[in-house]
Structure 1
Amino acid sequence: MEVQRVQAIAYDSLSSETIPPEFIRPESEQPGLTTYHEQNLEVPVIDFGDQDEEKLVQLIADGSSEWGLFQIVNHDIPSDVISKLQKAGKEFFELPQEEKEVYAKPPGSKSVEGYGTKLQKEVEGKKGWVDHLFHKIWPPSAINDQFWPKNPPSYREVNEEYAKYLHRVVEKLLRSLSLGLGLGGHDLKNAVGGDELIYLMKINYYPPCPRPDLALGVVAHTDMSAFTILVPNEVQGLQVSRDGNWFDVKYIPNALIIHIGDQIEILSNGKYKAVLHRSTVNKEKTRMSWPVFLEPPQELDVGPHHKLVSEKNPPKYKTKKYSDYVYCKLNKIPQ
């Protein structure tokens, strides 16, 4: 059975001013009713090039514990590397449908890798207004060429170049997050898999939507990963939950958005908080984003770090294999 992609549904909906009912969220989730516009939300913006490590560690620790989200500037990834990554991703989604389907996620696959529309169990049959492409970009041993587009021709080169620069950002972030917990500089990196840490690229493609007040691109969630490094395009869409309200996260050109994910919350025994976020869509413009999920190896056991638990601070989370955690979360099974 052929899967209908959101990109095709969006094209068919252009003239109708309506969307299929399976994309209409319940009133408690509709952006038109639940987005708070009374004040701007000042998400932390951190100068990642600050030479004062103690200050940088404190800012990252504060952002991770109070928000679970922050933006970094002066991260040393050249702006042209980011723009080439975005251009190649955009060109892939503009290919004819049959070319994209070559990279479709195989039916019944336990991996998320590939081109697709549905990611997790959908509650009450409701759908997100998004198509996506997943593939691993690091380490080299984890890469599956089957899911790397050959078109546009520059696709592999620009993704490999981005991964090379991203590697430095990840190392520095892990060190800062670790020191911010009072651990050694390498403790957190080792706990999430060391050099086996997986870099999973996802490209989100949110086509124009006639009723952006009723639909969501991606519903409210926290990321399963250790943490996520996201590049958005200039179209507004990321929202975070704060004090029970939904707020837009301001777009800053060339900034990287860092989301604390479930595994870092678990490892920190709750000191760092995974951020609850969602994606809205736009009536006239296509929104795209390029999150890279930093994931432990599938078979790695993840639980509160042993140096952070004691009689006074007992473990708040179960220790379990990352693959088991993912399975439970995608299938809405209580953890």
Structure 2
Amino acid sequence: MEVLMSNWKDVQSIPPNYIFPPDRRPGKISFPNCKDIPIIDLRKIDGHDDRSETIQQIIKACRHFGFFQVIHHGISESLMEEAMSVIREFFQMPGEYKSTYYSTDMNKRCRLFSSTTVYEKEPFHFWRDNLTHHCHPLEENIQSWPEKPLRYRVVVSDYSIEVRRFLLMILGLICEGLGLRPGYFEGELTKTQLFSVNYHIPCPDPSLTLGMPEHFDPNIITMVHQLAIPGLQIFKDGEWLGVKTLPNAVFVIPGLQLKVISNDLFKSPLHRVIPHATETRTTISSFLVPSTDVLIEPAEVALGNPPVYKAFTYKEFFAANSGKGWGVVLESFRQQIPE
């Protein structure tokens, strides 16, 4: 069978190497939706009082939930629709063309793969294809992007510029809320921008497999753009909960590096994806990522208490990953409390 799932036709049953052991599979299709996801309305940031209230809502969401939905975010609805449309076109193109972008080399600036970048070694495969490429700065990366569909580079470049503007705006509001100097997150802390698309074809039995592993985001901040097809889940209060999308809204997830900079004030949620039985799911995630050599440490202004984490570079953080998950990696940089 083809490695790329987007090339599969009329799938009637799940191949054995996509069926997870009982302790790792979802075990059911229907999950309760999370009812209390914070909703941030960015129309309110222009007036002084409304701006202060919105900032406090963002800080509260980062502290107590680690996940929030944003409406009236400034990214045009038509551009969001175009981006989703051109991505679907790419995955529906002939397999011969898509194979020219297939790679499991993490150093490639544009790569298409299935399941994970260790497909050949993993005992079970995740129900997804993924296209990931660098976005910022555009002039250094756009030539590595897919040439087809013909409008791909124009649409995705416009989209990535707007997403970066939006995420830096959110980080700017977080700066204000934490009392950090203006522009704290600009430059090396958000040097890299990744555009990552997960494409999940309909799955005959979603209770047996996963579209993505449960994971924490290791970066600074993430924006998730998805349609109303269920599948994204967060782990909260000891159970997996579905995430319902408002029309033309986006989700923001503080990454583990933001958790460190806030000196453990912020949360970063464990999340995963399960596929859908009858619908194709397409999700666009955008990540702002530090440069490899920038020092990550609790910001001084966040130090109402002693620093919870030791300073480290992003390169050191990645090198510490032994396959046990980013949450375990982060714990290895936690300060030891003297007995």
TM-score when normalising by structure 1: 0.88
> For residues 92 and 243 of structure 1, do their structure 2 counterparts lie closer, same or farther at Cα, with a shift above 3 Å needed?
same
Q: Is the 8 A contact 2:105 2:111 kept in 1?
A: no
Q: Does 1:326 align with 2:324?
A: no
Give the aligned partner of residue 87 of structure 1: 85
Report whether the alignment pairs 1:143 with 2:119. no
CA contact (8 A) 1:302 1:322 kept: yes
Tell me the residue number matched to 1:31.
26
TM-score by length of 2: 0.87
**Cα distance, 1:6 vs structure 2:** 2.7
Once the two structures are superposed, residues 228-272 of structure 1 have per-residue CA deviations (whole angstroms, 9 ceiling, x without a partner) of 011112311110111010000112121011011111111111111
Deviation of the 1:319 alpha carbon: 2.2
- Show the counterpart of 2:71: 73
2:42 alignment counterpart:
48
Instruction: State the Cα deviation string for residues 280-329 of structure 1 (Å, max 9, x = none).
Output: 111111001000011011222212223323xx622222322213323433
- Percent identity between the aligned chains? 28
2:226 aligned with 1:232, yes or no?
yes
- Aligned ranges 1:32-181 → 2 under 5 Å: 32-33=27-28, 36-37=31-32, 40-50=34-44, 51=46, 52-105=50-103, 108-111=105-108, 113-119=110-116, 125-140=123-138, 142-143=140-141, 145-146=143-144, 148-181=145-178
Which segment is superposed worse, 298-307 or 251-260?
A: 298-307
- State the alpha-carbon separation in 1 of the partners of residues 248 and 27 from structure 2: 28
State the one-letter code of the partner of 1:192: L
Q: Is the 8 A contact 2:220 2:257 kept in 1?
A: yes
Q: Contact between 1:34 and 1:245, CA under 8 Å: does it hold in 2?
A: no
Equivalent residue runs for 1:193-212 within 5 Å: 193=190, 197-212=191-206
CA contact (8 A) 1:222 1:275 kept: yes
Taking the aligned partners of 1:113 and 1:313, their CA distance within structure 2 comes to 42
Match of 1:266 in 2: 260
Is there any run of 5+ residues in structure 2 with no aligned partner, and where? 330-339
1:316 to 303, 308, 325: 308
Query: Secondary structure of the residue that 1:101 maps to in structure 2?
Result: helix
Structure 2 match to 1:250? 244
- 1:119 aligned partner, one-letter code: T
**What are the superposed Cα offsets for residues 93-142 of structure 1, whole Å, 9 maximum, x if unpaired?**
0001110111122x544357411124356896122101011111122355
Residues 59-103 of structure 1: per-residue CA shift (max 9 Å, x gap):
111111111110100011110000000111000000011101111
3-state SS of 2:68 partner: strand
Instruction: Calculate the aligned-residue CA RMSD, in Å.
Output: 2.4
Assess if the C-alpha contact under 8 Å between 1:41 and 1:247 holds in 2.
Answer: no
Query: Contact conserved, 1:229 with 1:291, CA < 8 A, in 2?
Result: yes
- Answer yes or no: is the 8 Å Cα contact 2:39–2:69 preserved in 1: yes
Matched residue pairs, number?
322
The Cα shift of 1:3 comes to 7.1
Give, as a single letter, the amino acid of the residue that structure 2 aligns with 1:158: V
* One-letter code aligned to 1:218: M
Mark the CA change 1:151 to 1:191 in structure 2 (over 3 Å): closer, same or farther: closer
Change (3 A) 1:115 1:121: closer
Q: CA deviation at 1:212?
A: 0.6
Q: Distance in 1 between matches of 2:128 and 2:269?
A: 20
Offset at residue 144 of structure 1 (A) = 5.4
Alpha carbons 1:28, 1:34 under 8 Å: kept: no
Cα distance change of structure 1 residues 87 and 73 upon mapping to structure 2, 3 Å threshold: same
* Inter-partner Cα distance in structure 1 for 2:108 and 2:158: 24
**1:321 maps to amino acid:** T
Do the aligned partners of residues 209 and 187 (structure 1) sit closer, same or farther apart at CA in structure 2, a change above 3 Å counting?
same
Distance 1:180 1:28 in 2: 41
Distance 1:30 1:129, change over 3 A: same
